[in-house]
Structure 1
């Protein structure tokens, strides 16, 4: 029936001994017999996989009273993504409710013949693979296949008599912060924190005293007063005098926080994910795609548009939002900004006439000369070249960095999947691990490699202020402070 999509084959069995999330016991073909099974092959770094999750959530609601089971198959790209604890945190962060199997060494990926993230596979109630397609944005296609299978197998009497029951006793941790994403520190020492999974922005002083809570805490795209406005997993932040710009990532929008009027206003984005390639246009009329970070210089807001693999600009005066660097093709190719290729840029920082950005999917740190509008790679090599290696910039390796800042001749990098803070010495062309983990899972600081204080866990951002580094310790749900004078790492006690 669906040979146009895929040549039908018997679905391979899930291997024994694999770790499952969101279910108290492993699932098997026998247990799933009589149900339509939708498999989502994903990896938690991938922006296209992130875009697929809302589609799956909508379909899960549609079929919650039918014989349909959704299962995520997490086939990790990066080393860090092959760790079950890290996958479990990603499942919590993205509020995934369906069962997820951790695909050890990509064995399930290989058995199904998968070659791209994300890929959707649909198995009929008799255990036959009838659909396989890579790419995001296939809600109607998936729904059509499921509807036909339900109708066909209802007539044949091959649907399960009872609805599938999958029990999960998972507990969601409670803390003041929930997966904090990005930071921005004003000239007068006001710290803006994107409390991403609480859908709000916090403003504190350097002691941790919270001065403003911006956002109701509920998901949504609502402008207005600080207590009534809504965000949806906001990430990047940038001060522009007394204004704070926000990359409201899962609303696909840029928001402006005005502290004089105590209001939030959407300045770019429509609330709907934009197309892969877009010419841009008027801010509030142009759909964006997963803006992940922002940085300001003069009247320009630079946007790391992760979903388009580009850097965009928002002009505060003209209110236009436009592509600035990157063709939209995912790769690591330098040259003139509009001809260069980027790969899911997720952190931006302006220093002088240079814009530095963390190009996460190629594990690279790159720069754009704002005068010549040319892109240059400082550290990084390709989509599948990553690791944790210090040394000369030509040889060093990162693993999916998400945040960075620059002070003087030093770039500080939140090397996220290495759970480390690294430095790039632009004067001597050297990369060094400043804060990281040892093989014993203890925190390693310069001259104190056996220090047993809490290590970082997938930090998403780092910012310099007053001889200290402020770090979003994302999976620990904390803000950390590293004192560069004493080499000590502490917790910012928000209160």
Structure 2
């Protein structure tokens, strides 16, 4: 699922394997949802963008693939060899080395046998269709009335944006690239940061996917590392020195009386650090994933992801349990954990599957994967993330009611709509909302509920670190085509005849596309025609594309690449993707008889 912390943790392993075996390994994600919100294809598409996934993902919304393969837990990894044999079914995270060893052996075996197809496969990534945004999946917000500042974790831009409470851009912390580099604001690096906490001029940052805690000195304008090694913790060591103990997905932060409290999503615990000391440790939670009340060492959390405080208690969004927890502030370790809203103390982990969208009191109310929470005047405002709503919780009565939002969307009036809001903060009578999937921050008047988009003048996205990945497929072997001559004018047509293996047909569901590349300085083809992929028209085993021309005459070498899908039906049915590349000597003349560039895919 796209919310499960264990599933999130296997994505770096898959990226490692995809990079190590680019021509031998194909990864296919199968999304079998836990939450209702995750069954929607559009929400999965947004998650693919948020997690920067580079392999195809199938929406198994009815869990048919799950059942047919006998899957029992999230995440599970199935290794299938070149002849279609299932070789391994591994569950959980931390299997990178095991998978790497097995894949290496399978590659060696099938290369020797001659059964391994190493033809490169290219996928058109969702992110190449995404328009640049000044904010990209902002995860958390933190307002400070005293200094008139708002801090925004611009999570997918790997930076922190600092503004005034009315939208004036003050600082950008981070270069926008992924890494662990400390240093000046313009040089520092993060990896999808989330929650923040402020203590004077020190901004503490949960650098979630670096598994680190960072500190931004707002006076010196520098970033340093407080805790973590940059590697995900694999052991169950829950206490140690700041710079030696590995952490596991810190998601949100809060400071009370000189103590930094951390929602440590990975091990399903709350952690703490006494500011000024060199120790960090688990604060509450056994490490078992569940919603169980009790004393600190016995209580169980399920991926805590948001914190608010009234100075006496921590109020925690326990996202996988769809509950709001109440954690005593007792640094002697004698406190207890209770549940304000949502299910708890159910046998066999059943509380993890008791989610929904029901207003009510205490354990009768239902949320769906809440990620953000803010406290104000005896009440909580909860980002009920997968219900796309803000809920109001009266702490005296424990009554939860819908406060803002009715269904997923992006409109502001009437009846504002949100898309997976994840962070909340309050200042000057306004609720600031990280409307994550809409790539924006909203302000909501606490009295009137008037909702506005929070605009930040002058904020630009960082340099696109993915721009170089959408390039011409030079790794595909080229076929030298016969010289082609077309008539000068506004356009010509590229036509490619597809020769498919016996029993195969063109896959009409696969987005067939061309990519073009010409010699720098040529004047025959407009530059915009040579940028990115071009949608092809497919008909009767023929792919075609209208090629814009400038009207000039002359010659240039033109490289043409076509990517298409084809399938074999019936028993042993399989679908494949292929990219074919041609080097075409192209001439454009005024007296040419044809306006077509005719090519043919070589027979297999």
* Mapping for residues 388-427 of structure 1, pairs under 5 Å: 388-427=357-396
Specify the SS of the correspondent of 1:150: helix
Where does structure 2 lack aligned partners over 5 or more consecutive residues?
344-350, 458-604
Q: CA deviation at 1:462?
A: 1.1
Specify the SS of the correspondent of 1:69: coil
Listed one character per residue, the Cα deviations across residues 250-293 of structure 1 (whole Å, up to 9, x for unaligned) are 11111111112111111111111112512321111111000000
Tell me if the contact between 1:246 and 1:256 (Cα under 8 Å) persists in the aligned partners.
yes
Specify the SS of the correspondent of 1:308: coil
Specify the SS of the correspondent of 1:487: coil
Q: CA deviation at 1:418?
A: 0.6
| Partner residue of 1:248 out of 207, 228, 239 | 207
1:475 is matched with which residue? 437
Specify the SS of the correspondent of 2:243: helix
Listed one character per residue, the Cα deviations across residues 430-469 of structure 1 (whole Å, up to 9, x for unaligned) are 1111112249x6869xxxxxx5466210000111212211
User: 1:161 and 1:480, CA in 2 relative to 1: closer, same or farther beyond 3 A?
Assistant: closer
2:289 is matched with which residue? 330
Q: CA deviation at 1:380?
A: 1.6
Tell me if the contact between 2:272 and 2:280 (Cα under 8 Å) persists in the aligned partners.
yes
Q: CA deviation at 1:166?
A: 3.9
Listed one character per residue, the Cα deviations across residues 332-361 of structure 1 (whole Å, up to 9, x for unaligned) are 111111211111000112212111100001
1:134 is matched with which residue? 91
Listed one character per residue, the Cα deviations across residues 1-36 of structure 1 (whole Å, up to 9, x for unaligned) are xxxxxxxxxxxxxxxxxxxxxxxxxxxxxxxxxxxx
1:313 is matched with which residue? 272
Rounded Cα–Cα distance in structure 2 between residues aligned with 1:267 and 1:442: 37
Tell me if the contact between 2:410 and 2:419 (Cα under 8 Å) persists in the aligned partners.
no
1:156 is matched with which residue? 113
* Mapping for residues 328-477 of structure 1, pairs under 5 Å: 328-371=287-330, 372-381=334-343, 382-438=351-407, 451-452=413-414, 455-477=417-439
User: 1:99 and 1:380, CA in 2 relative to 1: closer, same or farther beyond 3 A?
Assistant: same
Listed one character per residue, the Cα deviations across residues 158-211 of structure 1 (whole Å, up to 9, x for unaligned) are 222634444457513311000001111113231000000101001111111110
User: 1:90 and 1:438, CA in 2 relative to 1: closer, same or farther beyond 3 A?
Assistant: closer
User: 1:153 and 1:171, CA in 2 relative to 1: closer, same or farther beyond 3 A?
Assistant: same
1:77 is matched with which residue? 34
| Partner residue of 1:273 out of 232, 236, 241 | 232
Rounded Cα–Cα distance in structure 1 between residues aligned with 2:280 and 2:356: 35
Rounded Cα–Cα distance in structure 2 between residues aligned with 1:443 and 1:194: 23
Structure 1 residue ranges (4+ consecutive) displaced by more than 6 angstroms after TM superposition? none
Structure number with larger C-alpha Rg:
2
1:95 is matched with which residue? 52
2:68 is matched with which residue? 111
Rounded Cα–Cα distance in structure 2 between residues aligned with 1:426 and 1:166: 50
Tell me if the contact between 1:246 and 1:254 (Cα under 8 Å) persists in the aligned partners.
yes
Rounded Cα–Cα distance in structure 1 between residues aligned with 2:360 and 2:308: 23
Pair 1:56 & 2:14 matched: yes
Specify the SS of the correspondent of 1:204: strand
* Mapping for residues 119-268 of structure 1, pairs under 5 Å: 119-160=76-117, 162-168=119-125, 170-188=128-146, 189-268=148-227
Specify the SS of the correspondent of 2:253: strand
Tell me if the contact between 2:357 and 2:367 (Cα under 8 Å) persists in the aligned partners.
yes
Listed one character per residue, the Cα deviations across residues 352-384 of structure 1 (whole Å, up to 9, x for unaligned) are 211110000100000111145110011121100
1:8 is matched with which residue? none
Where does structure 1 lack aligned partners over 5 or more consecutive residues?
1-42, 445-450
Specify the SS of the correspondent of 1:104: coil
TM-score (ref. length: structure 1): 0.87
* Mapping for residues 4-83 of structure 1, pairs under 5 Å: 43-66=1-24, 68-83=25-40
TM-score (ref. length: structure 2): 0.72
Rounded Cα–Cα distance in structure 2 between residues aligned with 1:309 and 1:332: 10
Tell me if the contact between 1:442 and 1:453 (Cα under 8 Å) persists in the aligned partners.
no
For these two proteins, the number of residue pairs brought into alignment is 445
CA RMSD of aligned residues (A): 1.6
Rounded Cα–Cα distance in structure 1 between residues aligned with 2:111 and 2:95: 24
Tell me if the contact between 2:145 and 2:428 (Cα under 8 Å) persists in the aligned partners.
no
Tell me if the contact between 2:289 and 2:303 (Cα under 8 Å) persists in the aligned partners.
yes
Listed one character per residue, the Cα deviations across residues 289-323 of structure 1 (whole Å, up to 9, x for unaligned) are 00000000121110000001000011112121110
Rounded Cα–Cα distance in structure 2 between residues aligned with 1:76 and 1:452: 31
